[in-house]
Amino acid sequence: MRATVRDDVRDRRNPKAYGSSPQPTAMSYDIERYLNIRSAGGASFGPDGDRLSFLMDTTGTSQVWTLDGPGRWPEQRTFYDERVTFASWSPERPELIFGMDEGGNERAQLYRLDAESGRIENLTARPDAKHRWGGWSHDGERFAFASNRRDEAVFDLYVQGRAETGDEATMVYEGDGWLSLAGWSPDDSRLLVSEAQSSYDQDLSVLDLETGDFYHFTPHEGDVRYQSPSWAPNGEGIYLVTDQETDTLSLAYLDLEAAIEAAADDGERGERTTPLTVVDDGDGWNVDGIALDDESGRFVTSRNVDGYTELTVGAVDETDPTAFETFPDPDLPGGISGGVSFDPDAERFAITATGDTTNANVWVVDVESGEAERWTDAPTAGIPRETFDESALVHVESFDGLDVPGFLTLPDSGAADSETGTGTRESSGTETANGAPVIVDIHGGPEGQRRPSFSGTKQYFLDRGYAYFEPNVRGSSGYGTEYASLDDVEKRMDSVDDVAVCVDWLADHPAIDEDRIACMGGSYGGFMVLASLTEYPDLWAAGVDIVGIASFVTFLENTGDWRRSLREAEYGSLEDDREFLESISPLNHVDEIEAPLFVLHGENDPRVPVGEAEQIVDEARDHGVPTRKLIFPDEGHGFSKLENRIEAYAEIAAFLDEHV
């Protein structure tokens, strides 16, 4: 499917139509080549331990592939135009379950793939509902999931037999909020349940499948994160990461029986603090999660240190659940890694590794030695890896003295110096005597975090001579609860002020042309683009809004029912904060925009409905803002299909070349 007509985009077959665009260097590659750089991840070990499934986007969307060993020729297992979102092997049989939605609508269905015959069947067959994977039982006879089949605004819990299809799932718990599942107990009698009140507030409970009893064991006051829960090997406790009584996430152990008894005695949520034992405090940084094999007690934890991953591999002490031994750190490339899957004996684990100059691939690590071997070989479309540019971690002091971290990458610079972001730069297609143009790329969330992982789009713009700056303004995750809360509700625009301060810092940078600074962002990052254009119009040469929020009021009115309460916890509620939300919505300040604007969106977006794009474009044009629009009828919240990504970023590149 093609995107809808863009009445203000000129004919790309006529290069003169774009004026005097800077020309790429002799070694440059077009955007299609960069977007054909592949990534492999989401690995899962098969029950025999000799076969690995993973997701790779060779065909343009992520599909299921399997592999029998490092460097072996992989076998493609699914052949859809739509993206596959996950794949999980049965622990006992040569079959796996994977998830897939349609047109980006996020209403994922669950499918079973027979690895021997290749036969695929839809197990859920409810296209009107979302299905969120909850894991296989240890015997491989059942699987669990959460779904909003009954009521679009809430999630119930279901268990289904592996041989059943369609509506034969059994509802085992009727929910009243955003429920998800974190796995079966070692004896398959209980399910571990998480309920999100907001991104920074969760509760954990256990559902007894035999009695139907539902035990809530994390009563607390205020916002507390209880995340990445995993059953202890004996089923008597839970490992989790939490910021209870701390600013950053720590790894903790909770004695389940004692916690349930205490919760029953004390009553409702909020009347006491959950008793737990801290196992690893993260030394001032977030312990992002734990992957634990509940038979052997072997585990992998990850720590987020200023955006980079530090892994700890170990094994829980059999007599003391709060003690453990550690093994050598795995030697992985890139600096960012995650997505752990143990083999059946927990002697190895698969993990995805990436970095600025390293596209994502699956590596298999020996637990005891730390030796790592790359199993997948996602190609780089013939672009030499040594041509990719590496970012520098920098810090900018904001208007109130707050330290704002970010990643600055200079074109043709190799690795720029940390902190200063400077480097020796060769001439490039866009460089002038005043320095290079720069794209300020603002992440979404707002609880997201920009980390130094691989981006073909970023490398394309670097190849064309643009510098690239990725700030983690206040409200970003990864730097503690206090930092993340600094943009909540009435403090929302302080994060926009952070962007402006970063632009001032860039304008003083010797490698940057202060007159050629553009902003780009997706989702909440799209709001940040629009807000930056309206609040600080004189700073920008152009803006690119991808699936962004134009009005918080219309966004909250029209977003998916299952998301509204979570988003109101972050942005403010329609009932209590409507006037404030109106006051900060860029749609109501379009008359301030001075820079050309490009708006892109997916027609099926369930998170930020396409009406956000339509109304900002109409309003901007009414005020004489040079505006382009590109709507994809077969996409949702972002662009999952290769042909759409190529069209979108080719148009973005042409737009920036024209105006920046």
Which residue's structure tokens are 């044009």?
621
Average of pLDDT values for 414-440? 59
pLDDT at 197: 86
Query: 4 pLDDT exceeds 50?
Result: no
Least confident interval from 198-207, 266-275, 555-564: 266-275
Give the three-state DSSP class for 398: coil
Q: Is 153 exposed, middle or buried (0-12, 13-18, 19+ CB in 10 A)?
A: middle
Q: Beta 597-602 vs 627-632: how paired, if at all?
A: parallel
**pLDDT one-digit tens code per residue, 331-345:** 999 999 999 999 999
Binning pLDDT at 50, 70 and 90, where does residue 421 land? low
Query: 409 pLDDT exceeds 60?
Result: yes
Least confident interval from 219-228, 359-368, 595-604: 219-228
pLDDT at 613: 96
Q: Which residues contact 44 (CB under 8 A, 6 or more apart)?
A: 52, 53, 54, 87, 88, 89, 96, 341, 350
Average of pLDDT values for 71-94? 95
* φ, ψ (nearest 5 deg) of residue 276: -150, 165
Least confident interval from 135-144, 217-226, 267-276, 418-427: 418-427
Binning pLDDT at 50, 70 and 90, where does residue 256 land? confident
Q: What is the pTM of this model?
A: 0.89
Residue that wins the pLDDT comparison between 398 and 20: 398
pLDDT at 15: 30
Among candidate residues 125, 187, 176, the one with its CA nearest the CA of residue 153 = 176
Residue that wins the pLDDT comparison between 316 and 269: 316
Q: How far is CA 564 from CA 126, 153, 285, 347, 558, in A?
A: 22, 8, 30, 43, 9
**pLDDT one-digit tens code per residue, 573-632:** 888 889 989 999 999 999 999 999 999 999 998 889 999 999 999 999 999 999 999 999
- Cα separation of 337 and 352, whole Å? 5
* Helix, strand, coil shares, percent, the chain, to 5: 20, 35, 45
- What are the structural domain ranges in the chain? 15-34+384-391+409-419+428-469+494-659
Mean pLDDT of the chain: 89
pLDDT at 414: 40
Least confident interval from 121-125, 176-180, 432-436: 432-436
Give me the count of residues in the chain.
660
Query: 13 pLDDT exceeds 70?
Result: no
Query: 157 pLDDT exceeds 50?
Result: yes
Percentage of the residues of the chain whose pLDDT score is greater than 90: 76
Q: What is the biggest distance separating any 2 CA atoms in the chain, rounded to whole angstroms?
A: 76
CATH architecture of 15-34+384-391+409-419+428-469+494-659: 3-Layer(aba) Sandwich (3.40)
Which residue's structure tokens are 């790592």?
372
Query: 11 pLDDT exceeds 50?
Result: no
Query: 366 pLDDT exceeds 90?
Result: yes
Q: How far is CA 614 from the centre of its chain?
A: 26
Q: Residue 571 is encoded by which pair of tokens?
A: 């942005």
Query: 529 pLDDT exceeds 90?
Result: yes
Q: Is 470 left (phi over 0), alpha (psi -120 to 50) or beta?
A: beta
Q: How far is CA 593 from CA 226, 604, 619, in A?
A: 42, 28, 11
| Strand ranges across the sheet with 308-316 | 286-292, 298-305, 308-316, 324-326
Binning pLDDT at 50, 70 and 90, where does residue 423 land? very low
**pLDDT one-digit tens code per residue, 454-513:** 999 999 999 999 999 999 999 999 999 999 989 888 898 999 999 999 999 999 999 999
The answer to whether the Cα torsion of 317, 321, 323, 326 is positive or negative is: positive
pLDDT at 412: 79
- Cα separation of 146 and 172, whole Å? 10
Q: Characterize 401-436 residue by residue with b for buried, 16 or more Cβ atoms within 10 angstroms of its Cβ, and e for exposed.
A: ebebbbbbbbbbbeebeeeebbbebeebbbbeeebb
Helices marked H in 244-330 = 256-266
Query: 190 pLDDT exceeds 50?
Result: yes
Give the three-state DSSP class for 592: helix
- Cα separation of 506 and 502, whole Å? 6
Which residue's structure tokens are 């971290």?
405
Query: 397 pLDDT exceeds 50?
Result: yes
pLDDT at 626: 96
Among candidate residues 555, 528, 557, 554, the one with its CA nearest the CA of residue 543 = 528
Q: Residue 466 is encoded by which pair of tokens?
A: 């643009």
